[in-house]
Structures are given as structure tokens and as C-alpha cells.
Structure 1
Amino acid sequence: MDIWLTAAAILLLLGLSAFFSGSETALTAMSRAAMHRLAEQGSPGARAALKLSEDSERLIGAILLGNNLVNILSASLATAMLTVLLGENGVAWATLVMTVLVLVFAEVMPKTYAISNPERAATRVAPVISVVVRVFAPVVTVVRFIVRQSLRAFGVRTDPDAHAFAAFEEIRGAIDLHHAEGAVQKDDRDRLLAALDLRNREVAEVMRHRRGIATINADAPPQEILNFCLQSPYTRIPIWRGEAENIVGVIHAKDLLRAVNALILKGGVEAMASFDVSKVAMEPWFVPDTTSLDEQMREFLRRRTHFALVVDEYGALQGLITLEDILEEIVGDIADEHDLEAEGVRPEPDGGFVVEGSATIRDLNRLCEWKLPDEVATTIAGLVIHEAQTIPTVGQVFRFHNFRFEVLERQRNQITRLRVRPLGGAPTQGAA
């Protein structure tokens, strides 16, 4: 009878060991996002699992304490039972038998189940593990103190509240992983990563440079201003006075047409001579070129406007940025029937690409699956000038970052067109 009771106790302890092993795997492998969704739907097990995950060190300590207790106790009982049955050989047989039983039924099998269904398993075991954690809390606290002091003696400092990866980096890693596995398409990956990058990128990286801004003199004749605005593909036109960089207002096409229409209805075409564009223009909004895109987008939404002028630390005009420019960083080019068609990246038969000098390195990396550095320059022309340490002439060829760069066109001090070809080992998947 004693032998049968001992065998039953061993089996019970093996079951508890399997429970602790599976619980450890389930609670560490579960997706916090999925558990949060289940908790919002009213699952008490999900809420308990989320609460346990807030202090992972205490959770793992309690589970390991329970697991080691039942494993050591089961091994001791098996040794005692087999020693009675087999004599001195019982120790060896107990070691062999318990190793197989613990490995197969108390470790591999429950962990395999938990890793294949982590959320379901976590919701089931969390309520029981919560009780275990509370019961073992005093012992775990002492163990944690001993462990930290021991590590400190070797110069290792632990911070249980620190995360190995920031939340954004964890999301980024998950997106890249699922893309590599084929679950996330390239376009979807690019949009998701671009949205995460907004907080790390500045307005200066995506703004339209002042050389490309369509502006008009506020003192120009009314008819000239009206014609200019009607022929422009843009809805908002900055106006300047004195010098081109002295922006004194921004004309909205609708405001301009309303004002002109009111003048003509009131006094006929002759009334246009008294038109003052300054009374129609909106006050310009200037933003620093170091503003992050995430912050700038929030400001656009808060102010309910889509247009801002960008200045540097000295207050000099650098360019302009719109809400559309920021959205294009996420979803790609947004064109309508009034947009000017911009030349894109043209692939060549030899694997090279003819690109505009103003093309941004980030766009080229996304389009062609390249890995050109964008820390030192924003545009491909800027990268070539930075690496060459001079302004190249037409026909010059450079090789750096495992790419070949050939200057095709140059206007004054600006590189306007290049031919870029990856050399051996540079990853590329072609342009769309």
C-alpha cells in the first residue's frame, strides 16, 4: 500500500511539474497585445495574465520555485521507492526513470502545447498562478534580494523595470519578422514602418526646399497675381514683399477667388485695380526645421491647417511643408489631376537606375530595397557630394557603400541627375 501511495504521489507531482512548466512558457510567450484585447472583451484570465506580466521577475521566481519543489520531491520519492524495491540499484533506476518522465511529460510536452497556444493556455493558468505567486511571495522576495546582491558583487546591476527593447523597436522587429516570413507584404511593411519613423524624422528631411516654392510679389499688379494663382497647380501661394524670402502671407485660392468675385460684383472689372492681396492673405505660420514629423502632423491637425513655412535656427526661410508631404511619407506619392507629374526612378537593363538628384535616400531605399545611409544627407545628390567632399562634374564616377554613382547632369552647383548601380553584394529588387 505504501508503494502504491508513493507512486500516486509521484504522478501527482509530475502533473504539477507539467503545470508549472507549461505556465512559464505560456505566460512568457503570450502576446500582450492579444491579451489586452481579450481583457477588453471581459476575459478574467486575460486580465490576470496581464497583471502577472507586469512583474516578470516575481512571476518567473514563483513558477521556478514551485517547479523545483515538485521536481525535487518527486525525484526523492522515486529514489526511496525504487531503493526499497531494487536495493542499491534503485538510485540509478530512479535517476533514469525520473529523467525520462520529467523530460517528456513535465517539460517538453507541456511547453510544446503552451508555445503552440500561448494565449489560450495563459488565460487558463493565470488565475491559479496568481495564487501561487501570492503564496510564494515572501520566499521569492528573499531569493530576489540574494540574487541581486550576488550579481552586484560581480559588478552586474539589474533593472527589472527596464525593457530590452522599446515598444516601437519591438513593433518594428515584429513587422520585419513577419515580412521576412511572407505574412506581411512589402508595401504594408513600408507603410507601417514609415508611420513608426515619424517621431524620429525631422521636417527638414521632407520639406520642399525654398528653390522649389512657387511665390509671388505682394506688390505685383492684381491681374498678374490672379493669373499666377490660376495657373499654379497649388492651392496655397506664399506672397513676399521686398525680397523673395520675406514671406508676409499665404494666399488660399478659394479666398482669392471669393475676394475677386465680390469686387467684380460690386464695382465691375475696373474695381480690380483697388484689389489688395494683403487683405486676403492668411498670416504665415513658421515652424523650426528640427520639428519631428509626428509633432508637426499633430500640430497640423490641432490648428486645422495643412501648410507651414520652415525656418532654420537663424529664422531664415528654408522651405515649406504640408500635411500631404507627411502623409506621403507613409502611403507614398499622392497625386491628383492638378499635380505636376514628377519623374521617378527609371531602371536600366544593366541593373542601374537613373534618378533625380533631389530624390530622397529614404524613398530610394524603400523603392529599390537598398540600404544607403541617410544620416549625413537627405537626397542622393547630397550623399554623393558628402562622400566626394566636392561638387562633382558631369561624367565623374564614384564608388562607395557598394554602389556606383555616375553624374549625368549638373546645373551650376546642383547635381540634377545621376546613374546609380548596385555593385556585387548590394541588395536590390528593382523599381516599381
Structure 2
Amino acid sequence: MAEFLQEHAWQTLSLLILLGFSAFFSGSETSLFNLSRREVNRLKTSGPAGRIAASLLDHPRRLLGTLLLCNMVVNVAYAGISAVLVLSAAGFIGSLGAAGVSIALLVLLILIGEVMPKSLASRISLQFAQAAAGPLAVIHRAAGPVVWAFEHIIINPLDRLLAPRRLPQSKDVTADELATMLHLSARRGVLDRGANVLLQEILALTDLRVSDVMVPRVDMVAFDINRPRQELEEMFRRTHLRRLPVYDGHIDNIVGLIQAKRLFLSPQTPLRELIVNVIFVPLPANLEKVLLQLRVMRTQIAIVVDEYGGVAGLVTLEDILEEIVGDIPDAHERQYEPLRHVGNDEYIVDGDVAIHDWAEMFNINLAHRRISTVGGLVVALLGHIPKPGEQVRHRNMLFTVESVVGRRVATLRVKLVRDQA
């Protein structure tokens, strides 16, 4: 065996060198094309090696052609020398031993030439790219004419022949594509956690409806324009609201809004002359579009109507913004937690908590798309207006009705039930 190794020392050495080149090209490809735009910009100001690495990425397709062509040449040379070595080894160790050597050489190429350098380069992309930039730039320049010929004589004609002609694609980016980009940006450190969460919440507006955030009709504070002015002034003082919807005779006949500022600064002006227009939006309207409509109309309140034209509730600009940034503190607003932990796997939940917020709190998938609140979910599960103390189970949660106001579930006790094995 020692005699065999002496006779084929140059071939063995060549294989080791080729393994090194294969690892170099594989790692370089992974490290360079794994860099984010922010990391590339950082390379441009990190020294000579970084600037060289960034310049290589100015023409990514040509760089990729160089890497693939060089790696292919290395692998072909490795396969050829390996074949000669295996055939020669068959005379010393037999055909079975030669087959084992052949498999071992292939495994070495896969592990040392592909898997290990790619794995390393994906973890330390910046450092690997800077270390490989100098030698790779020399090889890239030397192989330039060959790569150009390879690309224009072989690749491009085959591409036009085999690939179907691409139809013009829309330049619009979908919400799913934006969500994917945000996920990748957060994972690579391009965005900090706070910015990523904020942008994710903005994207989530496309999946939410007005019914998810509106103030329901039964909770609306509105004023009958036929009532005395003093009652409206008292209502503003009591509620601390800046504007109120007003109706003529019946809540379904909303005629507009009255602003507290105009009311108190114009004590002699008749109420009907203080009314300003209000916009109406349908119950299933997309929250993102409603936000845009509020901005265009320069107003902060919209009246929500159902399919029959009746008033279903109202939505405010503040309600929509709170879906993005969380609760906005108000000097006159009572601070409370809609979900309160009261014991082991036990919570008190307000019945008017939005169903999508509840699902997010407990990390579950929404099953009831037409229900807006947790209280509504319990009513749907029971099939009737519940009384305090009634219970119903949904998945691994046991709901107990704590209090009912009118025909509405006000508060619930939720207990996580752990099934016995």
C-alpha cells in the first residue's frame, strides 16, 4: 500500500488541492449570495477586502457564472483523477476495495467540498466573504473571457430555447411577499424587533375587517338632534369625547357629527348648523381601506352600516391605530386589562375582547370567522343567551360566564384544561 501511495503521490496531492478549491468556491458562493443589502453596504466601508467583495456583487449573474464554471472544472478534474486512482488501486486491493475507495472519495467531495464550507459560510457570511474576496477577484478577472463566452454562446441560447418567454410581471408586491421579506429581514438582523412587530401589525390590517375593531351599536354614544342643547353639553362633559354622532329621531338615521369645540365656542349657533358630514362604511369593509378613506376625508370617525342599511356601530381612527401600535393612553379613559391572570391556567376575559385578539393571546387558529368577540363565541357555542355560571368547552378551554349585562356576556372565566393521559 505504501508503494502504491508513493507511485500516486501527485494524484493524491492533486485531489487534496482540488478539494480545497471546491470548498473555496462553494463557500464563496454561499457567503456572497447570502448577504443582505445592509450587509453589502457595510462591506463597502469596512476596508479593502470588504470593498472588493461588494464590487463582485455589482454583477451577480457574472459572478455566479464564474463560481459555477470554476466549481464544475474542479469537480470534473477531481472525478477524472479519482477514476485513475481507483483503477490503479484495483490491482492492489481488488475490485471490492476499489469500490470502497471510490465511495470514500465521493463522500469526501460532498462533505469537504460542499456541505462543510456552505454550512460555515452561511454562519459567518461577512467574514467568509471578506476572506475570499481577494483570491476570488483574481480568479473572476482571469476567467472573465471564458465566462463571457460560456454565457453568450451556451447559456443564453439554451435559455431562450428551453425557457418559455416570460410574460410581463406586475411590479406590485403582495402582502404575502412583504410578510416574507419582513421575516427574512428580522432573521438577518436588518430590522430590529420593534420595527418588525410594527410592520407586521400594519400588514395584518389587510386581513382585518371593520367588524373586528368597531364600537358596536349598543355601546355607541350618540345624541338625538331634537333634544335640548344642554343635554348634549352635559353628554360631552360626562364622556370627555371630542365629537359625537347625532341622529334625527332614531339611531339608524345618523345625520352627521358635532364637535365639542364648536359646540362650546358657538353657544348661539343652532345645533343643526354645527353638524358636519360623516362617512359611512359597510360592516365587512377592509380595515386598511377604511384607514385610507378616513385620511382622505380628513375625519376620525366613520359610521358602520350593515347590509340592510342599519347602523351596526362606529369605527374611529384611534381604534385602527391601536391595532397597529397597541393601546393609546387617554387621560380620561379607565385603564384596565381585558385579560387578567387569576390563577393556575385561569383567566378573566372581557366579553367584548375581539376574537382575533383573543386568538392571538392564546395562540390558536380562528375557527369562527363570523364572530367578532369572545362573548359572541360563547353565545354561539351555547346556542342561547347565557346566564351567569353557565359553562361551555371549546378545544382545551373551559368558559364560565361570570356576568351578563342585558343580553351580552360581560366577563368570562377561561380555564385551560389539561386532558388526562
Which residue of 310, 313, 317 corresponds with 1:319? 313
2:242 pairs with 1:235 = yes
Correspondence list, 1:76-91, <5 A: 76-80=80-84, 88-89=91-92
Q: Counterparts of 2:42 and 2:288 in 1: how far apart (Å)?
A: 26
Distance 1:201 1:32, change over 3 A: farther
Q: Counterparts of 1:40 and 1:316 in 2: how far apart (Å)?
A: 62
Q: Is contact 2:208-2:286 (8 Å) kept?
A: yes
Deviation at 1:381, TM superposition (A): 1.3
Q: Is contact 1:62-1:136 (8 Å) kept?
A: no
Q: What is aligned with 1:295? A: 289
Q: Counterparts of 1:51 and 1:401 in 2: how far apart (Å)?
A: 55
2:195 pairs with 1:170 = no
Q: Is contact 1:354-1:420 (8 Å) kept?
A: yes
SS in 1 for 2:295: helix
One-letter code of the match for 2:180? Answer: E
Correspondence list, 1:293-372, <5 A: 293-342=287-336, 344-369=338-363
Q: Is contact 2:212-2:355 (8 Å) kept?
A: no
Q: Is contact 2:294-2:300 (8 Å) kept?
A: yes
Which residue of 196, 221, 224 corresponds with 1:217? 224
1:116-154 CA distances to partner (integer Å, 9 max, x unpaired)?
Answer: 2225545866974996875543545677799989xxxxx
Which residue of 257, 263, 272 corresponds with 1:278? 272
Which residue of 19, 28, 41 corresponds with 2:24? 19
1:157-195 CA distances to partner (integer Å, 9 max, x unpaired)?
Answer: xxxx9x9x93244257559989xxxx988x888655433
Return the TM-score normalized by structure 1.
0.72
Which residue of 399, 407, 411 corresponds with 1:413? 407
Q: Counterparts of 1:383 and 1:190 in 2: how far apart (Å)?
A: 28
Q: Counterparts of 1:370 and 1:48 in 2: how far apart (Å)?
A: 46
Q: Counterparts of 2:216 and 2:366 in 1: how far apart (Å)?
A: 22
One-letter code of the match for 2:78? Answer: S
Q: Counterparts of 1:175 and 1:391 in 2: how far apart (Å)?
A: 47
Q: What is aligned with 2:392? A: 398
Q: Counterparts of 2:162 and 2:16 in 1: how far apart (Å)?
A: 32
Q: Counterparts of 2:404 and 2:185 in 1: how far apart (Å)?
A: 40
Distance 1:39 1:335, change over 3 A: same
Task: Count the aligned residue pairs.
Answer: 391
Distance 1:166 1:232, change over 3 A: closer
2:111 pairs with 1:117 = no
Q: What is aligned with 1:199? A: 206
Q: Is contact 1:250-1:281 (8 Å) kept?
A: yes
Structure 2, gaps ≥5 residues long: 1-6, 165-170
Distance 1:350 1:3, change over 3 A: closer
Q: Counterparts of 1:139 and 1:221 in 2: how far apart (Å)?
A: 87
Q: What is aligned with 1:259? A: 266
Q: Counterparts of 2:59 and 2:310 in 1: how far apart (Å)?
A: 52
Distance 1:376 1:423, change over 3 A: farther
SS in 2 for 1:336: coil
Q: What is aligned with 2:78? A: 74
Q: Is contact 2:56-2:63 (8 Å) kept?
A: no
Deviation at 1:88, TM superposition (A): 3.4
One-letter code of the match for 1:70? Answer: V
1:358-415 CA distances to partner (integer Å, 9 max, x unpaired)?
Answer: 1122333444555564524221111122233333333321112211112233344322
Q: What is aligned with 1:244? A: 251
SS in 2 for 1:166: helix
One-letter code of the match for 2:177? Answer: A
Q: Which moved more, 1:370-379 or 1:313-322?
A: 370-379
Q: Is contact 1:31-1:119 (8 Å) kept?
A: no
Q: Which moved more, 1:388-397 or 1:282-291?
A: 388-397
Q: Which moved more, 1:276-285 or 1:360-369?
A: 360-369
Structure 1, gaps ≥5 residues long: 150-160, 261-271, 427-432
Distance 1:94 1:418, change over 3 A: closer
Deviation at 1:283, TM superposition (A): 0.8
Distance 1:46 1:364, change over 3 A: farther
Q: What is aligned with 2:372? A: 378
Q: Counterparts of 1:420 and 1:368 in 2: how far apart (Å)?
A: 11
Q: Counterparts of 2:43 and 2:372 in 1: how far apart (Å)?
A: 43
1:198-250 CA distances to partner (integer Å, 9 max, x unpaired)?
Answer: 11111111111121111111222222222222222211111111212211111
Distance 1:254 1:148, change over 3 A: same
Q: Counterparts of 2:12 and 2:362 in 1: how far apart (Å)?
A: 65
* Identity %, equivalent residues: 29
Distance 1:176 1:32, change over 3 A: closer
